[in-house]
Amino acid sequence: MNIKQQSFRTIWPVADGQAVDIQAVEVIDQTSLPHEFRIVRITTLQAMIHAIRTMQVRGAPLIGASAAYGMALASKASAEDAALAAAAQALLASRPTAVNLRWAVQRMLQHLLALPVQERRDAAWQEAAVICDEDVALNKAIAAHGLGLLRAIAVTRQSAGVLNILTHCNAGWLATVDWGTALAPVYAAHEAGMQVHVWVDETRPRNQGASLTAWELGQHGVPHTVITDNAGGHLMQHGQVDVVIVGADRVSGAGDVCNKIGTYLKALAAHDNQVPFYVAVPSPTIDWQIVDAQRDITIEERDADEVGFMQGRLDNGELARVSLLPEGSAVANPAFDVTPARLVTGIITERGVCSPAQLVALFEQPVNG
Ligand SMILES: CSC[C@H]1O[C@H](OP(=O)(O)O)[C@H](O)[C@@H]1O
């Protein structure tokens, strides 16, 4: 998407200077936004695992794309079966909740192990690039289907000519290779000339909304207002939210949605106020193996310091990290929650918009359980 009128993806391959063919990856370092725009060059598997774990790259689809390039980086050292299997295990351990990581690693492993060892390195870089291009295509399809949905909602709900959309966390182009998932319909609506406005949940503790969603919407000229996580219910009670659209990290075939912590509370408020609640889901984010989402999905517990400290910019322009808590206070930091399908109005996929109950049929999957 656009950054100061220049088109960017979130991740791209580069020659690393030592070899003529592609041997490294560059990413936008999302831990530096919104105050600094930094590009990081990644040349090893361990550096890619660090980037995923520290959330320099984050968002389910982008985590998948990053893991795919992680396998390509691993193949530089060795493309033998055992080496690739070890790389896969190390990548899978980096973050447990977004199913795209498992999906991408399994796809890369299956693709490479079917080839002669000497062909695997080039094939790894090619397949990782295919995964990235597919992600962009999936998100563009979600944009198109979501645009139709927003037009339909605007006919019945928009007030004063503006469609007010609330989103939680960052499921924009920064969470994917490009275009985004939850924000893809928003960008499509904006570019189609619809009057849209986005309520941006700050999304404590990592503030993906305040630091990333607000930044990317601003770069693209989409009107938006940053709000505290606790304000969304109030806005819904006062008719100021026409639709909620969020992303996902793992969705069951029944339409239960695992997403950033706080999503469930937004879904409850939307349900209580008859506000449509939609989830934008590319098919690699669907885990058809899930039977009981509350039981079967591992909720990542992240470091206490994410809650106890905040990073920001001082009045003199310097970046600083400040402590928020009294000495000795315990911290709990679950990074995701599960919204039951009964609270989900619909799911926006690359194949169209459906109800949770229609998801299996839309993808012609065998019924689980
Ligand atoms: C389009 S996936 C975005 C999804 O990923 C985020 O999690 P994180 O920032 O921890 O990687 C969040 O759950 C978003 O909805």
Q: Above 50 in pLDDT, residue 302?
A: yes
DSSP H/E element including 124:
helix 117-157
Mean pLDDT of 90-101: 97
* pLDDT value for 6: 85
Contacts of 18 (CB under 8 A, 6+ apart): none
- Compute, in angstroms, the gap from residue 181 CA to the centroid of ligand 1: 10
Mean pLDDT of 347-352: 98
68 class by beta-carbon count within 10 Å (0-12 exposed, 13-18 middle, 19+ buried): buried
β-strand pairing of 6-7 with 2-3? antiparallel
160: left (phi over 0), alpha (psi -120 to 50) or beta: left
pLDDT digits (tens, 9 = 90+) for 199-248: 999 999 999 999 999 999 999 999 999 999 999 999 999 999 999 999 99
pLDDT band at 1 (very low <50, low <70, confident <90, very high): confident
Q: Whose CA is nearest to atom 15 of ligand 1?
A: 247
317 annotated ligand-binding residue: no
Contacts of 284 (CB under 8 A, 6+ apart): 60, 61, 64, 99, 100, 103, 104, 135, 138
The CATH code belonging to domain 2-134 is 1.20.120.420
Q: Above 50 in pLDDT, residue 369?
A: no
* pLDDT value for 20: 54
* pLDDT value for 5: 80
Answer yes or no: CATH 3.30.1240.10 is held by domain 159-363: no
Of the given ranges (11-20, 26-35, 43-52, 82-91), which has the lowest mean pLDDT? Answer: 11-20
Query: Annotated catalytic residue: which of 201, 249, 256, 287?
Result: 249
Catalytic status, residue 249 = yes
Mean pLDDT of 101-122: 98
Is the Cβ–Cβ distance between 276 and 320 less than 8 Å? no
Preceding peptide of 276 cis, ω within 30°: no
pLDDT digits (tens, 9 = 90+) for 50-92: 999 999 999 999 999 999 999 999 999 999 999 999 999 999 9
CB neighbours of residue 160 within 10 Å:
6
18 annotated ligand-binding residue: no
Q: Above 60 in pLDDT, residue 185?
A: yes
Mean pLDDT of 24-45: 97
Across all residues in the chain, what is the average pLDDT?
95
* pLDDT value for 4: 80
149: left (phi over 0), alpha (psi -120 to 50) or beta: alpha
Sorted by where each begins, the domain ranges of the chain are 2-134, 159-363
pLDDT digits (tens, 9 = 90+) for 133-181: 999 999 999 999 999 999 999 998 866 689 999 999 999 999 999 999 9
- Compute, in angstroms, the gap from residue 303 CA to the centroid of ligand 1: 17
- Answer yes or no: is the C-beta of 247 below 6 A from any ligand 1 atom: yes
Ligand 1 pocket test: which of 58, 173, 215 has the largest number of ligand atoms within 8 Å of its C-beta?
A: 58
* pLDDT value for 367: 62
DSSP H/E element including 293:
helix 293-296
* pLDDT value for 17: 62
The complex's ipTM works out to 0.98
Claim: this prediction has a pTM higher than 0.90: yes
Q: Above 60 in pLDDT, residue 26?
A: yes
60 annotated ligand-binding residue: yes
* pLDDT value for 368: 56
